[in-house]
């Protein structure tokens, strides 16, 4: 019997390519707590980023993307394995960035996480070097 994915996604989008067409093998999926980036055709890779670990979002919309209604969201995280990543060539990028930003803040409040925890991690990481 095949396993059925019953995860409730808030947003899903396929990375778009030439002329804004969804012809790539990268898919972004967002739940209330995590962002998944699935890529690959023959060999699949799935990255999982917890929302509360995303520290900064930047929306990039160069002319080539704007012509087709696309944008790229650059994310900086407190995750050691994925410190930075891009959500590339997506439609409604401004709305997605705002939604993501609100969800990140909601997750941080729910988990009672402030920027101080990340600073403490950095100090702990470098504490042995001083």
3-state secondary structure of 1: coil
- Domain-located, residue 71: yes
- Is the pTM higher than 0.95? The answer reads no
- Domain-located, residue 1: no
**Number of domains forming the structure of the chain:** 1
Residue 48 has phi, psi (to 5 degrees) of -125, 120
CATH at 15: 2.30.29
What pLDDT digit, counting tens, does each position of 12-46 carry? 999 998 788 888 999 999 999 999 999 999 999 99
Which strand (E) or helix (H) includes residue 73?
strand 70-77
Tokens of 100: 């993501």
Q: What is the residue range of 45's domain?
A: 11-112
- Domain-located, residue 50: yes
- Domain-located, residue 5: no
- Domain-located, residue 49: yes
Q: d(Cα 91, Cα 102) in Å, to the nearest integer?
A: 18
């Amino acid at each position: 019997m095949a396993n059925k994915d019953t995860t409730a996604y808030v947003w899903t989008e396929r990375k778009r390519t030439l002329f804004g067409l969804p012809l790539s093998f990268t898919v972004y999926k967002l739940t209330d707590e995590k962002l998944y980036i699935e890529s690959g055709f023959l060999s699949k890779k799935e990255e999982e980023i917890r929302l509360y670990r995303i520290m900064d979002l930047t929306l990039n919309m160069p002319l080539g993307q704007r012509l087709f209604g696309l944008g790229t969201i650059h994310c900086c995280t407190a995750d050691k394995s994925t410190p930075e990543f891009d959500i590339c060539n997506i439609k409604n990028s401004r709305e997605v960035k705002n939604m993501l930003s609100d969800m990140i803040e909601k997750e941080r409040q729910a988990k009672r996480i402030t920027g101080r925890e990340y600073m403490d991690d950095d100090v702990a990481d470098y504490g042995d070097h001083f």
